[in-house]
Amino acid sequence: MAVYGGIELGGTKCICAVGDGSDDAWTGTVIPTTDPETTTKAAVDWFRDVQTRSGSLVSLGAASFGPLDPVTGVITQATPKTAWRGWPVRAKLEHALGVPVQLDTDVNGAARAERAWGTAQGYSDVLYITIGTGIGVGAIVNGTVVHGRSHPEMGHMRIPQHLTDCQPGAPEQMWTGSCVIHGNCWEGLASGTAKAQRSALWAQASLEPPDAHVLESEYIALGLVNLICTYRPERVVIGGGVMRDAALLPRIRLRTRELLDAAYFPEASRIEELVVGPGLGDAAGVAGAILLAAELRPGHLQCRSVARLAGHIQAGLTST
């Protein structure tokens, strides 16, 4: 039996999976992301073992953190993960496994998967946003994933800084943010890393920090407004570790609706339909990687029940 492989290369964990869409052809594993040699070898060894037990791997999709060079398949020198700078992800996997590999960003992979199998099914214009260690955005316009000179870097857009987001005890001095490249960009103000660093800063000063819910909902809403104004999407899916706080999504919707003004943006009046949580959870990235693999060798996967495959992905991740 021929199967497709998918690998989501994340900053802390690497999720590998194979499947062909049928009910009994699913398996997956989670590998810690360490240095590139160790992580890649562990993933390759797992795929080889699956090939021995389950059948030939016909192609592999890789959804990776970045920044990436989509032409060469290399993680660029700009990545904050210094050990991975210049790592040729696609070439290493192709050489080790002997199959064609298609590479894209983790958020582009997740956007594909949510559109195919998750809460963005049936829509041609979709944004997938992950808010975790960093912030990334995958955009699909007229059914096509957006790429420009490289992949978009919307997590680094500039947004206004909230007046309470200052240095402890110095209200006239704004906090510098957590982004190692841009300081107080969207990622530097609203990511999980930003939340943790801000909290630690105020704790060190033994002072009460600004309200984290107010800051987070304000910052995420400001980013959403920029993206909605730019893309006019039919569906915005927001995932990532920060969004596991169930109280956050309603606050983000409310503030986004206020900032948009329904008199000018009619979609603001149906904000609950426009801005939603993910349908695939932590499985979105690796599911998108499998879709990337299927694009290289199309046929079998698309003929199967993708909803059932998505269920197997969730179950596989839960059991690891």
Question: pTM, whole model, 2 decimals?
Answer: 0.92
DSSP secondary structure, 30-77, as one string: EEE--SHHHHHHHHHHHHHHHHHHH--EEEEEEEE-S-EETTTTEE-T
CA atoms within 13 A on the CB side of 184: 14
Q: What is the pLDDT of residues 174-220, one digit of tens each?
A: 999 999 999 999 999 999 999 999 999 999 999 999 999 999 999 99
Pairing status of strand 235-239 against strand 275-276: parallel
Examine domains 3-106+280-318 and 119-276 and report if their fold is the same. yes
302 pLDDT more than 60? no
Predicted confidence at residue 278, as pLDDT, reads 95
Task: pLDDT band for 300, please (50, 70, 90 cuts).
Answer: low
CA-to-CA distance for 236 and 128, rounded, in angstroms?
Answer: 6
* Longest CA pairwise span in the chain (Å): 65
Predicted confidence at residue 310, as pLDDT, reads 67
> Which is the CATH superfamily of the domain at 3-106+280-318?
ATPase, nucleotide binding domain (3.30.420.40)
With 0-12 / 13-18 / 19 or more C-beta atoms within 10 angstroms meaning exposed / middle / buried, residue 30 is middle
List the domain boundaries for the chain.
Answer: 3-106+280-318, 119-276
Q: What are the backbone dihedrals phi and psi of residue 179, each rounded to the nearest 5 degrees, phi first? A: -70, 125
CB 142 within 8 A of CB 57: no
Pairing status of strand 3-9 against strand 57-64: parallel
> Which is the CATH superfamily of the domain at 119-276?
ATPase, nucleotide binding domain (3.30.420.40)
Lowest-confidence pick of 24-28, 151-155, 163-167, 242-246: 24-28
